[in-house]
Chains A and B, each alone.
Chain A
């Protein structure tokens, strides 16, 4: 599904250059549930941003479903992002001034989907995530767990092939975290490829592959077969 070849990301610091990612080579297959781990500053979130096409200033080759992302302009990348990718953030990043329903509707409206079709897609997701009763509430009226539930619902509402989750349980307590991770597992089992960044070994255990980053380099990669119970 995804091939990264010699991906590098650097920042100019005065006269020199600081590398955040160095020669990243990675293949992600459809149906993978990948965890990216590593200490702070290792480049985890940057890698996720590159995968999500939120970061443009990198070098190397990136193929997403055979689309050569490195050759595409921002507009094309934005189209592919809309078509294939859903994002989940540590801080949820719901739009504060929109209701739950509207937060779920917004990404669909950006895909130029008709009103009635959007309504049925949002209704289906509300139902699936059992948040129908909360659809008219604003994010500030929800608990952290509920907000992240909406965050995940927003990521999947457009039926993406790939979900990118940046420390999705980082702001949640353990029981809420467990619910979210189980939700991811379920989505993965239903065929969605997931790439998550986390510091939590327990969360990593929900995935089938773990990539360890250190100082921008891939330091280690491991595969596991069974999911483990979640904890923080």
Chain B
């Protein structure tokens, strides 16, 4: 220990004595370590961190933990749950000591006593069963949480619990907050408790502000009755395992509970076709660890984040190579010191330890600065990845996890870049080094010195990062250039929440017409239509269809996607009708039900036939006796997805809709800049009825950009880190070539004295740099092609062997090598033979 402290003291002194070297090395390492720590911090926050609740390791998620903010109407699901199905699971399982259900109501208007209704009053509301807080073992900081009694009768307990951050934000930590009233969707609720600071709910990427008891569902979700319907799947479930029960046992038990329920009372409550479908599909209820709660982003971004981790890992390796090269160059100047230490009795191991202490110290300094960089980096990363408003949901402050990670990275990095110089140091010839005094052995002395080998490795690693970045950038470009089948630059999409505004379902047809007319009057608007699912909205519908004369070979063959669209839909969106006609004004509620099908559907069900005039039915209890006549075939278009093959789709007339809960997405085609129409359209809706909350009003381009946020993120960040890798490789190559040239000044002078021309010397040095790069490329090209296999699922319309991406990566590498090699080469070519020959 004592000798270690001595090494440490000496290390500090050595670094202090070489401030330029220390600064460059620390900065290089800080960039590498900082990038790694930043990405790790986000990964930790999104993927690894446990919920701040009692014994999170006992928690289990039933269903899909990523389906936050989702609601599905139709055949009951088991990745999300209806309230009746939740009750079945809660009451019949033998594996959980308690089970709760919760759902997000999204960001909605909340008014508190004495406040005006304005935009800043939006809060994230979560609805939860009465045992939510007791199961999570989260007591109230002040007041109380929900009680079991509040889970019994509908609408009888208008209470709410608020989060610490909401208490701080909205009530300035006023201890008299208990008993105050807040209005959630205009419904008054009394605040009975505040949760402790640090607890923001069971969804890790969406901090809840307010919790409402499940029994208040219809009061806070105006116009929607979800507690009794088995067809609305909207709840997420967490259970706390009984002692000694494993995850596998829990899964077996829940699946048997579900199967029994399907054939029992729960099944009997379902429509016959739904029950049949569920029994036929025989899907399994998924059960996974719930220790880190629900998260959509974890599912969506885990792959990009892990990819990013690999990329920054490589950048750190490249940074390590640079510092190793710096240390090697410096080690030459320290040969004498090392030789003396060996001569006076230092054992090789002790010397390695001393040199590694110095390099680890350097890495730790880089780590300290890196943690600062990481704080900025993680903040930018979260903002960029998940949107500006999401920062509050993530805990990205330095914590033991992050510090332990950084310390481990520093230790590893220090050993990694310190090992080569340390091993080289103990191998020096002591006698001749002492005899020659301080004259150093050049780091690039041999034809293939360690320094050069390291630079070649650096080139290979950089090529790997650059190639990956190239593939991801080209994927993004391919996706952005996808032909939608219609002109998408001048479209605006709006989703007005009509039910939330208080309209009843039977009122909708009489509301929609005037609302669309009002929007048609907005200057710049060319046409307006309404459809159930809109474009790129994240909402989709699919149904089983029965086509006379067609027998499906497998279940999936009966499925087609569908949408309810108004009469101008095809014209407004710009979808060409290639056969027959579009949905028109003649298709009204009591006329023959009609549909336009897309090419994919026509080819699949009616190969080589004219589908116009043919009929099919939706395989649903309510619609089996309602044949739909095909009146047109539309071109296949991209409306909800860019990557997958365009699915079979049919469009039904909005005016003939039989759905009870049909809300709409409004499509607006504009003549000029669509963004200018967005605000005007919002204003029109507000004027039409101030209670209508426009859930979303965006241009289609914005929606496409949102859809591509994951691809954009990985493309931008991998390009950034590719650039960083390139820069580091450039510095590394420059350093080694400069050092090599300075060690050969005499030789160069002699060559020039013997008649070598300026360009001969220039080429001699440049050639050496290019040979290094060529060797790096020879290693890097197959490695990059091999590594690209890991990216295959993220690529679009691109092979993992994409020659263009590789050509770009190689060209960039060669360009950088030429620059990095040219400067020392030019310096060499300017050597004055007379001065050089007097050198040494």
Contact = CB atoms under 8 A, between A and B. Distances in A.
Closest 9 CB pairs of A and B: A49-B431, A82-B345, A110-B345, A54-B430, A107-B344, A93-B340, A54-B431, A55-B431, A110-B346
A83 to B, nearest CB: 9
Interface in B312-355: 336-337, 339-348, 350
A45 B437 CA distance: 13
Contacts of B345: 78, 81-82, 107, 110-111, 158
Interface string B1-22: 0110010001001100100000
Contacts of B342: 54, 78
A168 interface: no
B434 A89 contact: yes
B437 A97 contact: no
A2 to B, nearest CB: 18
B431 A46 contact: yes
Contacts of A81: 345
Given A55-B431, A78-B348, A97 B17 contact: yes
Nearest to B5: A115
27 contacts: A49-B430, A54-B343, A54-B431, A55-B429, A75-B348, A78-B345, A82-B347, A86-B344, A89-B340, A89-B434, A91-B434, A91-B437, A93-B340, A95-B340, A95-B341, A97-B10, A97-B13, A97-B17, A98-B10, A106-B341, A106-B344, A107-B345, A109-B3, A109-B6, A110-B344, A110-B345, A158-B345
Given A55-B429, A109-B3, A110-B344, 10 more contacts: A49-B431, A54-B430, A75-B347, A79-B347, A93-B343, A96-B337, A110-B345, A112-B3, A115-B2, A166-B434
A21 to B, nearest CB: 12
B435 interface: yes
A106 B339 CA distance: 14
A98 B341 CA distance: 12
Interface residues of B, number: 26
Contacts of B346: 106, 110
Nearest to A74: B348
Nearest to A158: B345
Nearest to A160: B345
Interface string A117-129: 0000000000000
Nearest to A91: B437
Which of the listed residues A52, A74, A78 has the most CB atoms from chain B within 10 Å of its own CB?
A78
Which of the listed residues A54, A98, A112, A114 has the most CB atoms from chain B within 10 Å of its own CB?
A54
A93 B347 contact: no
Contacts of A110: 341, 344-347, 350
A137 to B, nearest CB: 15
B434 A93 contact: yes
Contacts of A87: 343-344
A89 to B, nearest CB: 6
Interface of B: 2-3, 6, 10, 13-14, 17, 336-337, 339-348, 350, 429-431, 434-435, 437
A154 interface: yes
Contacts of A91: 434, 437
Contacts of A55: 429-431
Nearest to A57: B429
Contacts of A111: 345
A45 B337 contact: no
Contacts of A106: 341, 344, 346
Contact of B343 (A45, A52, A74, A115): A52
A158 B346 CA distance: 13
A184 B696 CA distance: 93
A180 B447 CA distance: 45
A197 B471 CA distance: 67
Contacts of A109: 3, 6
A89 B434 CA distance: 8
Contacts of A114: 2
Nearest to B344: A107
Contacts of B336: 93
A18 B341 CA distance: 29
B331 to A, nearest CB: 15
A114 B6 CA distance: 12
A75 B348 CA distance: 8
A170 to B, nearest CB: 12
A166 B342 CA distance: 16
Contacts of B10: 97-98
Which of the listed residues B6, B340, B345 has the most CB atoms from chain A within 10 Å of its own CB?
B345
Contacts of B2: 114-115
B435 A45 contact: yes
A86 B348 CA distance: 18
Which of the listed residues B13, B350, B431 has the most CB atoms from chain A within 10 Å of its own CB?
B431
Nearest to A79: B347
A109 B353 CA distance: 13
A97 to B, nearest CB: 6
Which of the listed residues B343, B344, B348, B437 has the most CB atoms from chain A within 10 Å of its own CB?
B344
B330 to A, nearest CB: 13
Contacts of A46: 431
Contacts of A96: 337
A78 B347 contact: yes
Contacts of A75: 347-348
Contacts of B13: 97
Contacts of A54: 342-343, 430-431, 434
Nearest to A78: B347
A49 B431 CA distance: 6
Nearest to A106: B344
Nearest to A94: B340
Nearest to B3: A109
Interface in A42-79: 45-46, 49, 52, 54-55, 74-75, 78-79
A108 B249 CA distance: 64
B6 A154 contact: no
B817 to A, nearest CB: 35
B339 to A, nearest CB: 8
Nearest to B435: A45
Nearest to B16: A97
Which of the listed residues A93, A158, A166 has the most CB atoms from chain B within 10 Å of its own CB?
A93
A52 B14 CA distance: 28
Contacts of B340: 89, 93-95
Nearest to A87: B343
A205 B17 CA distance: 43
Contacts of A115: 2
B686 to A, nearest CB: 74
Interface in A140-160: 154, 158
A98 B348 CA distance: 20
A128 B10 CA distance: 27
A109 to B, nearest CB: 6
